[in-house]
Structure 1
Amino acid sequence: MSQQLLVEYPLMRPPACDNPLARGADGVLRYGNLTPALTELLDLQVHAFSGREAVVEIGGPRLTYRELWHSASRIAGGLQEHGIGYGDRVAIHMPAGLRWVQAFLGALLSGAVPVLVHDGLPSAVAERVIVDSSADFVLDARAGGELPDGAAFIDDGAALNDLALLCYTSGATSSPVCADATPKGVELTNENLLSAIRSVVGALDLPTDGLRNLVLLPLAHASGCVDQLLPTFAVGGTVVLAPDTRRLAEGIAAERVDMVSATPRIFARLLPELAALRPDGLRTEGVSRISSAGHRAERAAAPTGPADPAVTLREMFPVARQWSVWGATETSGIGLAVDDAAADADARVLGFPFGGTELALFGPGAEAGHGELLCRGPNVTRRYWNDPEATADRFTGSWFHTGDQVTIDADGLVRHDRAG
Structure 2
Amino acid sequence: MPIAPAYDWVAHHAMVSPDRSAWADIDSTGDGAGLACNWREADERVGRSAAMLRDDFGVGRGDRVVMFSMNRVEFIEVQFACARLGAVFVPVNWRLTVHELDYIVSDAAATVLCADPEFGDTAAELTQRTNVPHLVVFSGAGSHPEGSVDYDDALAAAANRIDADPALLPVMPELTHDDPLTIMYTSGTTGRPKGAIITHGMSFWNSINLAELSDLGRSMVNFCFLPLFHTGGLNCYTNPAAYFGGSTLIMRTFDPGEALDLINDPERGITHFLGVPANYLFMGQHEKFATTDFSGVVTTAIGGAPSALPLLQMWEKVGCPLIQAFGMTETSPMVTSISKEMAVRKAGSAGLPGMNTAIRIVGEDGNDVAPGEIGELWCKGPNITPGYWNNPEATADAITNGWLHTGDAAQMDEDGYMYIVDRWKDMYISGGENVYPSEVESALFDLAGIADVAVIGLPDEKWGEVGQAVIVKSPDAAGSVLDETAILNFCRERLARFKVPQSVRFIDELPRNATGKILKRELRG
The TM-score bracket by the shorter chain reads 0.7 to 0.9
Task: Quote the RMSD (CA, aligned, Å).
Answer: 2.4
* Corresponding residue to 1:258 among 255, 258, 271: 271
Is 1:58–2:58 an aligned residue pair? no
* Letter paired with 2:277: P
TM-score, L = length of structure 2? 0.65
Q: Deviations over 1:269-316 (max 9, x none)?
A: 33322xx1145x43221112112132xxxx15x6x354x2x2222234
Deviates more, 1:162-171 or 1:341-350: 341-350
Q: Deviations over 1:62-81 (max 9, x none)?
A: 11111112111111111011
Matching of residues 142-181 of structure 1 within 5 Å:
142-143=117-118, 144=139, 146-147=150-151, 148-149=154-155, 150=158, 151=162, 152-172=169-189, 181=191
**How far apart are the structure 1 equivalents of 2:186 and 2:387?**
13
Q: Name the counterpart of 1:249.
A: 260
Q: CA deviation at 1:396?
A: 0.9
Q: Name the counterpart of 1:235.
A: 244
* Corresponding residue to 2:397 among 390, 393, 397: 393
Is 1:349–2:317 an aligned residue pair? no
TM-score, L = length of structure 1? 0.81
Deviates more, 1:142-151 or 1:77-86: 142-151
Using the aligned pairs only, state the percent identity: 25
* Letter paired with 2:44: H
Decide whether the 8 Å contact of 1:40 with 1:156 is kept in 2.
no
Decide whether the 8 Å contact of 1:348 with 1:417 is kept in 2.
no
Distance 1:74 1:419, change over 3 A: closer
Q: CA deviation at 1:54?
A: 0.8
Q: Name the counterpart of 1:406.
A: 410
* Corresponding residue to 2:208 among 198, 201, 213: 198
* Letter paired with 2:292: L
Decide whether the 8 Å contact of 1:372 with 1:403 is kept in 2.
yes
Q: Name the counterpart of 1:337.
A: 337
Distance 1:255 1:393, change over 3 A: same
Q: Name the counterpart of 1:282.
A: 292
* Corresponding residue to 1:78 among 43, 48, 52: 52
Q: CA deviation at 1:153?
A: 2.3
Q: Deviations over 1:217-274 (max 9, x none)?
A: 221122221231111112221101122535323322141212222222222233322x
* Letter paired with 2:250: L
Decide whether the 8 Å contact of 1:223 with 1:334 is kept in 2.
no
Q: Name the counterpart of 1:47.
A: 15
Runs of 4+ residues deviating >6 angstroms: none
Distance 1:348 1:321, change over 3 A: closer
Unaligned runs of 5+ in 2: 28-33, 119-138, 145-149, 163-168, 425-525
Decide whether the 8 Å contact of 1:95 with 1:142 is kept in 2.
no
Q: Name the counterpart of 1:108.
A: 83
Deviates more, 1:77-86 or 1:247-256: 247-256
Unaligned runs of 5+ in 1: 1-23, 25-31, 174-180
Matching of residues 261-340 of structure 1 within 5 Å:
261-273=274-286, 276-278=287-289, 281-294=291-304, 299-300=305-306, 304=308, 306=310, 308=311, 310-316=312-318, 318=319, 320=320, 322-339=322-339
**How far apart are the structure 2 equivalents of 1:419 and 1:188?**
24
**How far apart are the structure 2 equivalents of 1:142 and 1:74?**
20
How many matched pairs? 367
Decide whether the 8 Å contact of 2:357 with 2:383 is kept in 1.
yes
* Letter paired with 2:383: N
Q: Name the counterpart of 2:378.
A: 374
**How far apart are the structure 1 equivalents of 2:301 and 2:226?**
10
Q: CA deviation at 1:155?
A: 2.7
Matching of residues 208-219 of structure 1 within 5 Å:
208=218, 210-219=219-228
* Corresponding residue to 2:95 among 120, 125, 134: 120
Q: Max radius of gyration: which structure?
A: 2
**How far apart are the structure 2 equivalents of 1:391 and 1:159?**
21
Q: Name the counterpart of 1:178.
A: none
Deviates more, 1:143-152 or 1:93-102: 143-152
Decide whether the 8 Å contact of 2:24 with 2:36 is kept in 1.
yes
**How far apart are the structure 2 equivalents of 1:289 and 1:114?**
28
**How far apart are the structure 1 equivalents of 2:189 and 2:354?**
26
SS at 1:350's partner residue? coil
SS at 1:405's partner residue? strand
